[in-house]
Amino acid sequence: MYYLYFIMKNLGRKKVRTILTCLSIVIAFLLFGLLRTLGSAFDQGAELAGEDRLVTINKITLIQPLPYNYLTKVKMLDTVAIATQSNWFGGYYQEPRNRFSQFAIEADDYFSIYEDLYSLPEDQMKAWKANRIGVVIGKALVDQYQWKIGDRIPLIGMFPQQGGNTTWEFEVSGIYEAKTKGAETNVMLMHYSYFDEARQYGKGTLGWMIIKVKDKNQSELVAKQVDALFANSAAETKTSSEKDFTKSFAKQFADIGFITSIILAAVFFTMLLVAGNTMTQSFRERIPELAVLKTLGFADATVMWLVLGEAIFLSVVGGLIGLLFAWLIVAGAADALAATLPGLMMTMDVLIQGLLFVILFGIVTGAIPAIQGLRLQIVTALRSRR
């Protein structure tokens, strides 16, 4: 306890300097908490991806559709448990800034394939299937737009209807919920049959296929099998695991993980220089005092730990405050951003990484003065005071 008291007293001798250094550490770890959380929110889709699910897209690009009969052929494969398909609708509600995801799908197979992630009450499923223009929406959309079952929702779509009208009207038949924390509930699902029948062009095509394999250990083999089915055809396919697909899809916008890592590296490098310089300056000012400690019989290692302890203590205090603020901000913003960044929360992984970085930051910033403290020669150091 005495040593902790001594460390705190030493940090308190230049209060302004200590507070400013601590603030810089707070900012560094606040950014760490926020950016890492953002990065992991973008990666969350990949984390939730099933190991037994594959995604098949047009080999040229995701935007290019595939013939619908591909799905029939894939369903016939012995190695496939379920196969379904999905289509990008690309609409918005009332004005372009109200964009969210809408997929045209086939209700039974879609919910079967994602039974681990989503649930829809049976009566709502029944009502939805009976309603041609029915849609089911996730809880995040309910929270954002206050929609409820029975509401009519006009969407301005990317695809015109047969008469050229781009406004599509839907009716909310059900509200699905996520079974797993982090699963996206900001998506509207409509019937493919209605979408395909009503759209002006692209009929008889699908956007991508989602395949659930019978044996997850054979996923790679099934992927090759699927692509082989359509090799040398007009629309060759590219099949990958759902995880790889989600990651590459996210990277189409930006490699968030890479960007956040670069920003954090720059922030921490700068902060290391600032805090390291402060610790070294603080050490230099106290060389005679540390020499006196050694004179009294304190071991070289004890003096080293006292110096290092100050750096670690400062880093722990600043780091914990920074991570706490980050947690509060994320918790406060999670609901507001639920539609655009579902599952935004500071995960235990981010917290543990943050705590490890806090200790590492303290060790690195205190390392040079600590080693100098270890090597401090009493006679030389005391002579400097005479």
Residues interacting with another protein, by CB under 8 A? 1-3, 5-6, 9-10, 12-13, 288-289, 292-300, 378-379, 382, 385-386
* Least Å from the CB of residue 335 to another protein: 46
**How far is it, in rounded angstroms, from Cα 54 to Cα 52?**
7
Quick one: 2 or 253, whose CB is closer to another protein?
Answer: 2
In whole angstroms, the minimum distance from the beta carbon of 306 to another protein comes to 11
| Integer Cα distance of 196 and 207 in angstroms | 11
Least CB distance from residue 291 to another protein, whole Å? 8
Q: Which is nearer to another protein, 86 or 282 (CB)?
A: 282
At position 27, the amino acid (one-letter code) is: I
Q: Which residues does 118 contact at the CB level (< 8 Å), separation at least 6?
A: 111, 138, 176, 177, 178, 179, 183, 185
Kindly report the backbone phi and psi dihedral angles of residue 384, in degrees, each rounded to the nearest multiple of 5, phi listed first.
-65, -20
**CB-wise, 6 or 88, nearer to another protein?**
6
The token pair that represents 231 in the structure block = 């090799």
Rounded distance between C-alpha atoms, residue 18 and residue 32, angstroms: 21
Q: For another protein, which is the closer residue by CB, 224 or 385? A: 385
Smallest gap from residue 256 Cβ to another protein (A)? 46
Least Å distance, CB 41 to another protein, is: 45
Residue among 25, 54, 11, 26 nearest 240 (CA): 54
Q: Which is nearer to another protein, 1 or 234 (CB)?
A: 1
Q: Please report how close the Cβ of residue 262 comes to another protein at its closest, in angstroms.
A: 40
CB-CB contact of 245 with 62 (8 Å): no
CB closer to another protein out of 13 and 214: 13
Q: How far is the CB of 363 from another protein (least distance, A)?
A: 23
305 Cβ contact list (under 8 Å, min separation 6): 3, 370
For residue 378, the minimal CB distance to another protein (Å) is 5
C-beta of 130 vs 379, nearer to another protein: 379
Q: How far is the CB of 179 from another protein (least distance, A)?
A: 55
Which residue lies nearer to another protein by CB, 187 or 293? Answer: 293
Nearer to another protein, 65 or 309 (CB): 309
**Closer by beta carbon to another protein, 234 or else 379:** 379
Question: Least Å distance between CB 372 and another protein?
Answer: 16
